[in-house]
Amino acid sequence: MRMRQNLGIAWDGIRANKLRSSLTMLGMIIGVAAVIVLMSIGTGTQASITSRISSLGSNLVFVRPGGAPIQGGVRQAQGSAGSLTFEDAQVLAAPGAVPGALAVAPETATRQQLVAGNLNTNTNIRGVDEAYLDVRNYEMAEGEFFTATQLSTRALVVVLGSNTAATLFPEGDAVGKNLRINRLQFRVVGTLVSKGGSGFGNEDDVAMVPITTSLTRLSQQRTNQGQRSVSTINIKAENDKSVGLIKESVAAILRERHRLQGEDDFTVTSQEDTLATLNQVTGVMTAFLGSIAGISLLVGGIGIMNIMLVSVTERTREIGIRKAVGAKRRDILAQFLVEATMMSLVGGGLGLGIGILISRLVNGMQLNNQPLQTVVSPDIAILSVTVSAAVGLFFGIYPAVQASKLNPIQALRYE
């Protein structure tokens, strides 16, 4: 038989038992829809993380403490040694000290309460200098950033992120207003343009003060040698090709300054390193979600095999007649394989449409106060439909083989 005839016969077989065929395809519909929705959530999460990291700036190198101090005979958390100093940052920022570096911006980090009138919020306080704005790709919405004079005089001034400003000054016009941090009165000199995002580490949930003010009036963090400690040294590279050279140069300078003989007490990573690690994690998560949803496809395939075995039994006499008038074994085999695959493809197509619709409906919904982002990429859609067709073909083989093996004489006698 020709393929067109097989398609026609398969479609007639599906239409002859509409309810049974619909219930059989339901497993494929649910399976494909689940794969589309879960993988679109995973892909959307990956895209969201990539976007947020890219918004931090471009071609960045991060230097952070890497040692694990011992207190009371117990090794503390990695990176809590406080081994980076403000003086380290000043050496790295010296002209020509680090080849390929455009700017160096040290940073201190603490979390404290901000109070403005009868409103307050607990937020991230970053001590930064005038280079930080350019290095980390921030833009001013209102007012101005710190000046060199304010840095040198340890001025009590603060720049607020968009969320922090909206929380403390809901009526707007935060610039020029006063607030309290650690019982000290600060004047708001500017607010930042929103970068988007939510949750821990939100780049809009910040307040920035001069790093000199932070080191002397807020955190006052010190190393074991009594030097002023910083949490991160941010370095902006000329281009992506300079990142490797900068990492090597920074490591060499810090090893010499810290007089290290063995393990480094700092870590040097790049934006690409961070992005690659997070993409790997989210990629595994996406594959895991897809695998869980794929179980539904397996159940749907078993349902197709079951209904095709029932169909073979019901159509035994029909198979006998076809063989008696000249149909060959391969024709019967093709007939039932096409029917099983068609049923799976129709279910997969409907599941694809439903999955895309659900993905669009849940996009932007709040989950634990964080918006869900979904991305339905073409490869996910193609993969889902292809897998559904493969499932139908695989689970349709056994019933089709059973049908093709029927003896025409016995089939004609079947009641």
Nearest to 214 by CA among 200, 225, 229, 224: 229
Any domain includes 67: no
Which domain-ending residue is among 210, 232, 264?
Answer: 264
Q: Same domain, yes or no, for 135 and 225?
A: yes
Q: Which amino acid is at 189?
A: V
Same domain, 251 and 218: yes
Q: Is residue 158 part of a domain?
A: yes
Same domain, yes or no: 13 and 118 = no
174 and 113, same structural domain? yes
Sequence letter at residue 165: A
Cα radius of gyration (the chain):
32
Q: Is residue 12 part of a domain?
A: yes
Strands (DSSP E) found in 211-350: 232-237, 266-270
In this structure, are 192 and 333 located in the same domain? no
Q: Could you tell me if residue 154 is inside a domain?
A: yes
Same domain, yes or no, for 99 and 161? yes
Residue 77 domain flag: no
In a domain, 75, yes or no: no
Task: Report d(CA 24, CA 13) in Å as an integer.
Answer: 13
pTM of the model: 0.65
Distance of alpha carbon 102 from alpha carbon 129, whole angstroms = 15
One domain, residues 283 and 323: yes
376 and 326 in a single domain? The answer is: yes
Give which of 269, 278, 208 is closest to 60, Cα–Cα: 269
Q: Per residue in 129-180, pLDDT tens?
A: 999 998 888 899 999 998 889 999 999 999 999 999 999 999 888 999 999 9
CA distances from 40 to 31, 99, 103, 351 (A): 14, 42, 38, 14
Task: Give yes or no: residues 259 and 111 share one domain.
Answer: yes
> DSSP per residue over 289-306, as a string?
HHHHHHHHHHHHHHHHHH
Phi, then psi, of 267 in degrees rounded to 5: -130, 140
The answer on 220 and 102 residing in a single domain is yes
Tell me if 30 sits within 8 A of 364, measured CB to CB: no
Single-letter amino acid, residue 215 = L
- Give me the domain span that covers residue 219: 82-264
Out of 239, 264, 289, a domain closes at 264
DSSP β-bridge partners for residue 177: none
Residues 288 and 159 in one domain: no
Q: Is residue 60 part of a domain?
A: no
356 in a structural domain: yes
pLDDT tens string 297-339? 888 888 888 887 877 777 777 777 777 777 777 777 777 788 7
Model confidence pLDDT, tens digit, residues 87-130: 999 999 888 889 988 999 999 998 899 999 899 999 999 999 99
Q: For residue 268, list its beta bridge partners.
A: 63
Give the pairing of strands 119-128 and 206-210.
parallel
Structure tokens at 332: 């019967």
Higher pLDDT, 406 or 388: 388
**CA 360, CA 368: separation in Å to the nearest integer?**
19
Above 70 in pLDDT, residue 200? no
Give the other-Cβ count within 10 Å of 346's Cβ.
19
C-alpha separations of 309 from 7, 103, 242, 320, 398 in Å: 19, 71, 65, 16, 8
Other Cβ atoms within 10 Å of 206 Cβ, number: 22
Assess whether 118 and 200 both reside in one domain: yes
Alpha helices (H) in 56-161, listed in sequence order: 86-93, 132-135, 148-152
Q: Based on the structure, what is the number of domains in the chain?
A: 2
pLDDT band at 78 (very low <50, low <70, confident <90, very high): very low
CA distance 274 to 39: 22
- Domain end call among 243, 264, 285: 264
Residue 69's pLDDT is: 44
